[in-house]
């Protein structure tokens, strides 16, 4: 079919669908979904085709990595020579709706309909799975540092229990292992809603086991049988920070039998940790040997190019008015992990909001204050931060560490979590232990609450700035 000037919009849609069908065979599924899943043809005039991308990150990656493939496919299928350009634009309501296509694409339409129905069903079991919806493969940025982990995770999500079982993923703090773990679970629930997916942490697994033992002895409702029934009947079990079971004999015994029960029934097991199995101490060899019986992958620290890509996607998703020069500057200065990188980006935006001016390399340098920040990290400890926050809000340190959830305690508790994580780079698990034995996901939630508050609430922004000044003084 030749596509020339004067053809209808339906012809353009048909051409692009044929191009996508070809690209889907050529490109790996994760890249195809991430970069072409939402790309749409806007118009064709004088053999010039304009394609819509939802954000700059998608546009840059297609132009850099896949442009020649797209160009070749369009020219061959359209039987002509076309000039292709990509623009960033929100799709219209009509473009969001599925196009009416011929028999060649009826199967695709049918699959999409089935997938929508599956998604609706999966919502019923979503709460029980304990997954976070925002962590998906589509929102995960793949680079050299995580390519192998991403590929294995994608394969596991496509066919759980059949390949790469168990899957053991390890990485330092803030490098995206939790995101990838949730992405696997979300993908499985989306496409196979009948499967029972359970996400938990090593700490939660331990605490739930202890609670079941206590409840059973006291005649409570939640017994050890209920605990075993929950985890051993899972189709997919995802455990984050498995290193937490180190030194806990009863937990290790229960985990050992849970692992065996699932593995023997070809159920998928996925585990994450901050270290490889060979570096574990106080975990029985019979357990670490099972970690090593499947496939092991790690996530390295992202390089500067990858860090810039992460910041550009964050900017485009939030529609922030920040130039690439500023993002490249932040990526150059922050080389630790993704969480620290995004924290630095937020810090620059907060600084500009607080003190005015434009977001430039100069203001970014002032906001990050590399030299001051480095010296501050060396001298400030967790107790100093906790004490300063408590003095500022006139509350007791014992109350911040305690279980009470009064409104007057929640805000200073969250700000303590945020400042400790930002200023000392202490792992979330360690922060949780310092603040009364809280789960690392609770710390993550508290940090995110303050980050949002800094951007949207003047009071939170002022409080954080004032406490930081007191700490610096």
DSSP 63-120: IIIIHHHHHHHHHHHHTS--EEEEEE-PPPHHHHSPPP--GGGHHHHHHHHHHHHHHH
Strands 48-53 and 40-45: antiparallel
Give the three-state DSSP class for 238.
Answer: strand
pLDDT in tens, 333-384: 888 788 888 888 998 998 888 888 888 888 888 888 753 344 444 467 898 9
Q: Is residue 109 part of a domain?
A: no
295 and 313 co-located in one domain: no
295 and 311 co-located in one domain: no
User: Residue 223's pLDDT band (boundaries 50, 70, 90)?
Assistant: low
Q: Is residue 123 part of a domain?
A: no
256 and 219 co-located in one domain: yes
Identify the pLDDT of residue 273: 92
Q: d(Cα 227, Cα 231) in Å, to the nearest integer?
A: 7
Q: Is residue 120 part of a domain?
A: no
User: Residue 123's pLDDT band (boundaries 50, 70, 90)?
Assistant: low
375 and 441 co-located in one domain: yes
403 and 268 co-located in one domain: no
Contacts of 342 (CB under 8 A, 6+ apart): 310, 311, 314
How many structural domains compose the chain?
3
Q: List Cα–Cα distances, 409 to 107, 334, 389, 431, in angstroms.
A: 56, 32, 11, 17
Q: Is residue 405 part of a domain?
A: yes
Identify the pLDDT of residue 76: 86
State the virtual CA torsion across 300, 301, 305, 309 in degrees, nearest 10.
90
49 and 163 co-located in one domain: no
Contacts of 263 (CB under 8 A, 6+ apart): 165, 166, 269, 290
Q: What is the mean pLDDT of residues 78-88?
A: 88
Q: Is residue 320 part of a domain?
A: yes
Classify the C-alpha dihedral 370-372-378-382 as positive or negative: negative
Identify the pLDDT of residue 339: 85
Which domain CATH number covers 329? 1.10.1750.10
80 and 166 co-located in one domain: no
Q: What is the mean pLDDT of residues 198-207?
A: 92
170 and 312 co-located in one domain: no
308 and 286 co-located in one domain: no
370 and 335 co-located in one domain: yes
User: Residue 116's pLDDT band (boundaries 50, 70, 90)?
Assistant: very low
* Domain C-terminal end among 259, 275, 299: 299
pLDDT in tens, 280-311: 888 999 999 999 989 999 998 888 888 888 89
Binding-site residue numbers are 174, 176-178
Q: d(Cα 446, Cα 415) in Å, to the nearest integer?
A: 8
State the virtual CA torsion across 345, 348, 352, 354 in degrees, nearest 10.
100
Pick the closest to residue 382 from 334, 327, 432 (CA basis). Answer: 432
Which domain CATH number covers 203? 3.40.50.300
Burial of 247 (0-12, 13-18, 19+ CB in 10 A): exposed
84 lies in which domain range?
9-101
Binding-site residue numbers for ATP are 174, 176-178
* Domain C-terminal end among 248, 277, 299: 299
Q: Is residue 433 part of a domain?
A: yes
* Domain C-terminal end among 66, 101, 136: 101
Q: Is residue 63 part of a domain?
A: yes
Which domain CATH number covers 79? 3.30.300.180
pTM across the whole model? 0.56
Q: Is residue 92 part of a domain?
A: yes
291 and 144 co-located in one domain: yes
277 and 308 co-located in one domain: no
């Amino acid at each position: 079919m030749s596509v020339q000037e004067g053809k209808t919009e339906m012809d353009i849609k048909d051409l692009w669908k044929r191009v996508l069908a070809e690209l889907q065979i050529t490109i790996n599924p994760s890249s195809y979904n991430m970069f072409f899943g939402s790309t749409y043809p806007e118009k064709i005039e004088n053999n010039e085709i304009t394609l819509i991308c939802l954000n700059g990150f998608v546009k840059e990656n297609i132009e850099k990595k896949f442009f020649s493939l797209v160009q070749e496919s369009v020219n061959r299928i359209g039987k002509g020579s076309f000039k292709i350009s990509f623009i960033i634009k929100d799709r219209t309501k009509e473009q969001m709706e599925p196009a009416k296509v011929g028999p060649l694409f009826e199967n695709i339409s049918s699959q999409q309909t089935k997938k929508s129905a599956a998604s609706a069903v999966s919502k019923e079991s979503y709460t029980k799975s304990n997954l976070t919806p925002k962590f998906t493969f589509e929102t995960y940025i793949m680079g050299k540092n995580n390519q192998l982990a991403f590929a294995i995770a994608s394969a596991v999500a496509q066919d759980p229990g059949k390949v790469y079982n168990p899957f053991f993923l390890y990485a330092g703090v803030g490098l995206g292992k939790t995101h990838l773990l949730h992405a696997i679970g979300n993908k499985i629930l989306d496409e196979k809603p009948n499967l029972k997916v359970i996400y938990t942490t090593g700490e939660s697994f331990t605490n739930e086991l202890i609670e079941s033992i206590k409840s059973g002895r006291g005649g409570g409702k939640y017994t050890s049988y209920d605990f075993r029934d929950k985890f051993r009947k899972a189709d997919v079990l995802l455990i984050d920070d498995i290193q937490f079971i180190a030194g806990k004999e009863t937990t290790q015994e229960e985990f050992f039998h849970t692992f065996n029960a699932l593995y023997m029934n070809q159920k998928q097991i996925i585990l994450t940790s901050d270290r490889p199995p060979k570096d574990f101490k106080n975990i029985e060899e019979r357990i670490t040997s099972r970690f090593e019986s499947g496939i092991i992958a790690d996530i390295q620290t992202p390089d500067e190019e990858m860090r810039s890509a992460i910041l550009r996607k964050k900017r485009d998703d939030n529609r922030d008015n920040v130039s690439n020069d500023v993002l490249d500057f932040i990526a150059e200065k922050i080389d630790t992990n993704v969480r620290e990188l995004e924290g630095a980006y937020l810090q620059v935006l907060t600084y500009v909001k607080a003190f005015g001016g434009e977001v430039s390399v100069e203001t970014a340098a002032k906001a990050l204050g590399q030299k001051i920040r480095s010296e501050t990290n060396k001298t400030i400890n967790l107790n100093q931060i906790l004490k300063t926050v408590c003095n500022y809000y006139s509350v007791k340190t014992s109350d911040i560490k305690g279980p009470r959830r009064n409104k007057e305690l929640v805000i200073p508790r969250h700000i303590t979590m945020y400042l400790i994580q930002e200023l000392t780079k202490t792992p979330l698990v360690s922060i949780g232990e310092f603040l009364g034995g809280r789960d690392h996901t609770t710390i993550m939630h508290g940090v995110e609450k303050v980050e949002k508050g800094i951007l949207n609430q003047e009071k939170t922004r002022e409080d954080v700035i004032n406490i930081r000044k007191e700490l610096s003084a």
